[in-house]
Amino acid sequence: MAPLPRNPKRANQRKWSARAWWVGLHVYSYGVLVYNGAMSPKRLGTSDFLWAVAVAVVNLIAYVAVQTSSPGYVETTKTRDLEAAKKKDDEQSREESDEDRLVPQPANEPEVDAGAHYCDDCQIKQPLRAKHCKDCARCVRQYDHHCDCAGTCVGQNNRHRFILYLFTQVVEGFEMIGVAAAAFTMQPSVDEWFQVNWPYIIAWFSVVGMLFIAIPLLCYQLYLISVNQTSWEYARRSSITYLRDLPDDKSPFDRGFLYNWRVFLTQGDGNQWVHSSKPLRQRADQLPPLDTTDTSFM
């Protein structure tokens, strides 16, 4: 069983408050436009209305896909030990009948790369590029950030879903801006104009706010994918053990624009170290303190 967050109340509040805020903006904007007839076949035309509905549905599916996905949690010690023991017992039961030969042999403690840390919460040695998320209470492979709006981490296994969601969010945002702008009606005076159009004004600015979040974040993520880097590595480079002593600012996993994108799209192995400078090797008890700083945003 995964450990509980250090502050369950804080984690739960962040999880639901961010979701409520983000979902609330969408519900209000769509509610205003639909209730007042701005988003209807009569106002938009059948083809434009169907397009707007399709964009909204795809965006909702992408959001749910991110929300329900696993970022790539690192297996805890208990889980790994149970699976390893079961596998070992199965193999030995097929090959050997003598129970005296089933005694396991002790193994020497292996050395680990400078980037590896022991996580006290999960009781595991973290793989390269993994980080413990205090909100999820799990170590995440190729940790990027904790997405408050979706209530989950973005990591190795669901980053492609997150990018798809950002893209559909941008498309939806521009579509909703057009619908909201078309809903404004001319009035004899400024006061009357505000009295009639204030719901659309709020909806319009809400959508603009979404785009001010989604567009920069999408561009940022596209850049990071192009150089095979995560937002945590980019933001905390000076405190991450396997990055801080490198002689330049390049990602040690960067294998070129096209290759990086091929690995991302095919979900290949993006953790191969290709930098000319290799990380120092030292024992786990000689490693510096683990960086636990959050890079939590959308």
User: Residues with Cβ < 8 Å from 47, sequence gap 6 or more?
Assistant: none
Q: Which residues are 146's β-sheet partners? A: 153
Q: What is the per-residue pLDDT across 121-172, written as a single tens digit (0 to 9) for each?
A: 888 888 899 999 988 888 999 999 999 888 889 999 999 999 999 999 999 9
For residues 18-46, average pLDDT: 88
Q: What is the per-residue pLDDT across 108-124, written as a single tens digit (0 to 9) for each?
A: 433 444 446 788 888 88
pLDDT for position 80:
53
**Given phi > 0 = left and psi -120 to 50 = alpha, else beta, which region is 267?**
left
- Report residue 92's pLDDT band, with 50, 70 and 90 as the boundaries: low
Most confident of 217-221, 244-248, 280-284: 217-221
- Report residue 88's pLDDT band, with 50, 70 and 90 as the boundaries: low
Strand 145-147 relative to strand 152-154, pairing: antiparallel
User: Which of the residue ranges 24-28, 216-220, 255-259 would you say has the lowest mean pLDDT?
Assistant: 24-28
Amino acid letter for position 66:
V
pLDDT for position 9:
62
Between 32 and 15, where is the model more confident?
32
Q: What is the per-residue pLDDT across 163-211, written as a single tens digit (0 to 9) for each?
A: 999 999 999 999 999 999 888 888 888 889 999 899 899 999 999 999 9
CB-count burial class (<10 Å; 0-12, 13-18, 19+) for 259: middle
What CA–CA distance (Å, rounded) separates 166 from 169? 5
- Per the structure block, which two tokens stand in for 225? 């994918």
Q: With beta carbons less than 8 A apart as the criterion, state whether 83 and 90 touch.
A: no
What CA–CA distance (Å, rounded) separates 73 from 133? 10
User: Residues with Cβ < 8 Å from 141, sequence gap 6 or more?
Assistant: 71, 72, 73, 74, 127, 129, 130, 155, 156, 157
